[in-house]
Structure 1
């Protein structure tokens, strides 16, 4: 893949995606090393602070991309903002005030899911900015991983919100948590629908374009072969 020189704004976006990919990978690696050593109940103590700081990266990247890399904004940009705000709120508004709930298995499931999906997405965007393309396997992962990761992460988040409500003493915030829990299913449905539409719009069109290019290349090679055979036949005659 060719590497293109980048202006300062795209250089900043590329750097933010590289940093994000590296940090999410480090978090997943740290989880893999510490889980056998500490066990499920003690692992959150060793990894929670690092993981919670990483939860701010999607929101920071959203603002970096929209301030430096885009002139025209679309309504679908809301979902990127929603995803970033949701992650920060889950860590600092749901888990951080009540650290006991981090001992539940859903917390570790959430950690692994977020690490995987954000590592894939930031790696894809880093390739996209620097080379204007990405490896086929990474494109497939970027546009299709949500089919597995989003339902798992949403269920884990709902469990943690439910557990947080048991420890919350502020009545107003407890009611807010209950309202969020009720809204999670319909909002998750629309978020999932948005990702499906994005897949149909970009990934499926990319596959169709790739198929047409391959068909054109095959036709060109075949036509060149026929011309070569005709030339040989004329020489033999």
Structure 2
């Protein structure tokens, strides 16, 4: 099932759109701002639908930062009429642009056309390298290296958890949010799948270095990545540019 990230602050539009796409065999996750979307990253999504008029950072700035490190397909939705915003959006890296109000069937046709043109590897491709305490997270190859360039083998979901927590840093990510991103739905209070997954990831890291306590539990909030993150060159990095 292909996954779509809807970045839209109008709850009526996002609810109608996600319900329409869910009924057509897509899984949708909604973020009400660019800041929330950055925390979720794009590693688990096949396509982004982005509103331009977002609270805080604009949809145009969001698209520009995403495109700097990822080839994931982007469709812009905008209530702004005219060619100027459309041209700017396409120049900043969006693959398509639709004005509001829009026909859901036309949007669906454009989504399917984009997904047909891009393979799964292209959609999820994120580039760059991040370092923390001598460790290296290779976003291009989806690999984690311990000090000494030792490769730490991670499953797809273990890598996804690490990527989500790193991009959310310094904010914690709740179990429910991790479940939505990794499983596609909420989990029951007694469901331990997310905790077990995080525990396996922690063990793989601490088996290499017992001092590497990067992932911490935050009471009543979830999990948090706790280490200063830098680029491999040593300069501090704005993780928003590495969505």
Task: Classify the TM-score, shorter chain.
Answer: under 0.3
The structure that has the greater radius of gyration is: 1
Q: Greater relative contact order (Cα 8 A, min sep 6): structure 1 or 2?
A: 1
- The structure where helix makes up a greater share of residues is 1
Between Structure 1 and Structure 2, which shows a larger proportion of strand residues?
A: 2
Q: Give the TM-score taking structure 1 as reference length.
A: 0.28
- TM-score (normalised: structure 2): 0.27
